[in-house]
Amino acid sequence: MSENRQITDAGKTIVVGMSGGVDSSVVAAILKEQGHNVIGLFMKNWEEQDEFGVCQSAKEYADVIKVCDKLKIPYYCVEFVKEYRDHVFSHFLAEYQAGHTPNPDILCNREIKFKVFLEKALALGADYLATGHYCQNQIIAGVHHLVKGVDENKDQTYFLYANKKEILEKVLFPIGHLEKSEVRDIAKKYNLSTQNKKDSTGICFIGERNFRNFLSEYIQMKPGNFENLQGAVVGEHVGAAFYTIGQRRGLGLGGAGERWFVVKKDMQRNIVVVERGERHPALYCDYLTANEITWIGSDRPFNLPYKCQARCRYRQRDQDCIIAEDNGGVLKVEFSVPQRAITPRQSVVFYSGDLCLGGGMIIAPGPNYYEMQKELPDHLAD
């Protein structure tokens, strides 16, 4: 397998997506040192203040200016507030109102960073767009492929599976072959002001918020009952939309015994079903179905059944699976060990070793072990 794609001929015009963080700062520094014409480009996609009255985008742009001035490269700010609201945030809210738990980072990458932002970079005369994502762009047999970053704890391929090879042809990931500690060392070498800056977390382009308070500004809280699987009321919730399958924290349920977990939601009745115990059989199933499939390299590049690995959420270890069926674009994915808390409208992403094949949206988990009246095996998904 080839190395992470590098542009060896100096003098290319490369726009760097600058976020105000250490990763994109180091990308700009590396490309400048390699002799490229580097332009820093900052996106403003959210214009509201957080709960402390702070405009996060203004703070981040100030850090971008400091880094670009240090590196002596030009910088610009572009606004995609409308595009973000229309194509990411509105979808995010609609999914929550329907009782799902969406992942806005995936849609944000597809619709904003590697669509309108990439188009803007190319319109500025860029040969390539470079970002600080922890992943690699490798050319295998003449085709661009998405490959895991070397730093397993930072790998971001899960969020990028919806970007096809045609996008990858114009994109560089210059730090994908580095560990995070190495990136910070490079930032110190260049004495960049972001060298010790904390990694950003929270909602894509919105940042860290009290999530329930933030959502309640857009989604009406509709209190209802927590019930167990036998239909007994065990407490009251603030609104079914605000909970996700497998959730433990923030339920407000006490009493003697093991902790409570969300195992199911009934949006029509506004009921959140809970049970005690992290290993409750209602949380586990053997397969899922998925649609809205994207294959990075081409149309489905293999015949079925196909053995590979998959992740049903970010940070999960790769799970051995078989893609057993493709019924008109609806995949059936069977796992070698039971999977916990598979959540509709989250993404399932497929891998063959380090190679990210693509992914799709989870329609539903298969029957759980409680429904099947089966005992869980000793070995379960990590």
Reported as type and span, the H/E element at residue 358 is strand 355-365
DSSP code of 284? E
Catalytic residues: 108, 204
* The two structure tokens encoding residue 96: 């929550």
**C-alpha–C-alpha distance, residues 158 and 340, integer Å:** 18
For residue 295, which of 326, 317, 324, 340 has the smallest C-alpha distance?
A: 326
Q: Regarding beta strands 128-130 and 13-18, do their DSSP bridges make them parallel or antiparallel, or are they unpaired?
A: parallel
What is the distance between the alpha carbons of residues 34 and 85, in angstroms, rounded to a whole number? Answer: 37
Give 148-202 as a DSSP string: E-S-TTT--GGGTTT--HHHHTTEE-TTTTS-HHHHHHHHHHTT-TTTTPPPP-S
Q: How many CB atoms lie within 10 A of CB 38?
A: 27
Dihedral sign of CA atoms 353, 354, 360, 366 in order:
positive
287, two tokens: 């397969």
Distance CA 69, CA 95 (A): 41
Backbone torsion region of residue 5, taken as left when φ is above 0, otherwise alpha when ψ lies between -120 and 50, otherwise beta? beta
Angle at 342 between CA 340 and CA 348, to 5 degrees: 120
Residue 6 bridge partners (DSSP): none
The kind and range of the H/E element at 62 are helix 56-71
Q: How many residues does the chain have?
A: 382
Cβ-contact 363, 348 below 8 angstroms:
no
What is the maximum alpha-carbon separation in the chain?
69
